[in-house]
Amino acid sequence: MKLILILPITLILAACNQVTQKQQADIIINHANVINMMTGQITANQSIVIKNSTIVARGGNELNLRYSATSQIDASGQYVMPGLWDMHVHFGGGEQLITENKQLLPLYLAYGITTVRDAAADLSESVLQWREQINQGTLIGPTIYTSGPKLEGKDSIWPGDLEVETSAEMHAAIDKLEAMNVDFIKITDSALTPQLYLQAVKEVKKRGYQISGHIPFSLSVTDVSNAGLDAIEHMTYMLKAAADNEQEISAKVKSGILSYSSALPIITEHVDKATAMKKYRVLAKNNTAVVPTLIGGQITAYIDENDHQQDEYLNYLGKGLKATYQWRVDRANKDTPEQITQRKERFIKTAKLLPWVQQAGVSIIAGTDAGFLNSYIYPGLSLHQELAIFSDYGLTPLQTLQSATIAGPKFLGKTQQFTSLEVGKVADIIILARNPLVDIRNTQSLQGVISHNRYYNKKALEHLKLQAKQFVSSQ
């Protein structure tokens, strides 16, 4: 009789022991409203379990019976989504500005940007080192994907380029980029001949890399897309593609009758929707994306009206980086009243192309051009401003969010690791106080960031900004 009583007690104790043996995780988010980036659907009261930078479980509050974590986050009433990607930034200005550029890295996290794509400059060796240090957890900053130095022609106007003049030099330059283990390749045309430009695009594609860049005004946008360009950097080229006289413009640029700057007012006056949609559908068919970088155009267009000298963000920028801003300001200040009117009209017309691009099926990738030289395009903050422009000029909040969470991973072939908050995905996460699907500016209601297995609450995010301010004060 005693044996019969002992056995059930033993079984009960064993079962209780199994229940109390929780699996150890690193971070658990509880009571979150999780946003699905594909559909815009919000799932309420979700728990997300994170271990070693990976989402290992997601579901209701019952997950807390199975997992314990050193960091527990109560996200009640808050909105949780993948971290934001800025797919066009720069780190540069010469070796004397390496430290100032490095100080920018935590600022990206402070604004909820968990990934950046470095689109070339003159600090490639440093950027490659930072990429590895961040991945190893020894440096605080966003995940970095980088092109290394970009392909250009002889006597490029940009420092740090790989300058090529012949096919042999072009092949050698791509060999060098492969040896550097870059994540993609960028090409521009300040000094590169159109013929060598097209050859380079085709060669890069043969080697299996993604390639993005500027487009020679002497070539049509669709010709470059057909050659294999994966992404167009800057919306100006979409404006050119929308002009019903693009072929004529390209011919005049090629013959030297027109330049890039003198062609801009002409193409602005010749925008035609039927022409635009026809060209954009070619880009969509070829999977050629666009990174609009509209915030820079907006800042320059209205620089006569807006005094940026009192911007709070300037307190976060080193003296050397701030000094690089002046050249664009000086150039804009030389514009005549007619040119000032033209640049404002051009910005508006260019931004209004966004819905056409979206309707045609072209992937729109959010990027800012933040970094040295590009006046008042502030690292971190500017992506939120870029997203606001997208929304103001016709994209829905969901489409806008997709440009900063899905389009970037898609371009880099990283959709399996990113784009959603599902089990197995990388735990790059932002927590917002307000719903960004209601108002895209709610991306700025940042309450927390998870990046590289670290959780930064609002106080920690403000501390990252304070550290930047203290660095500048110490200069």
**83-412 shares the fold of 22-81+423-473:** no
> Phi and psi dihedrals of 146, rounded to 5?
-135, 150
Instruction: Determine the pLDDT at residue 115.
Output: 99
Task: Pick 22-81+423-473's CATH classification: 2.60.40.1180, 3.90.1200.10, 2.60.40.10, 2.30.40.10.
Answer: 2.30.40.10
Q: pLDDT tens across 416-471, in order?
A: 999 999 999 999 999 999 999 999 999 999 999 999 999 999 999 999 999 999 99
So what's the pLDDT on residue 144?
99
DSSP string, 170-228: HHHHHHHHHHTT-SSEEE--SS--HHHHHHHHHHHHHTT--EEE---TTS-HHHHHHHT
**Res 285: pLDDT:** 99
The CATH code of domain 83-412 reads: 3.20.20.140
Domain coordinates of the chain in residue numbers? 22-81+423-473, 83-412
Look up the pTM and report it.
0.95
d(CA 295, CA 383): 8
Quick one: pLDDT at residue 54?
Answer: 99
Rounded distance between C-alpha atoms, residue 395 and residue 292, angstroms? 13
Low-confidence ranges of the chain (pLDDT < 50): 1-7, 9-17
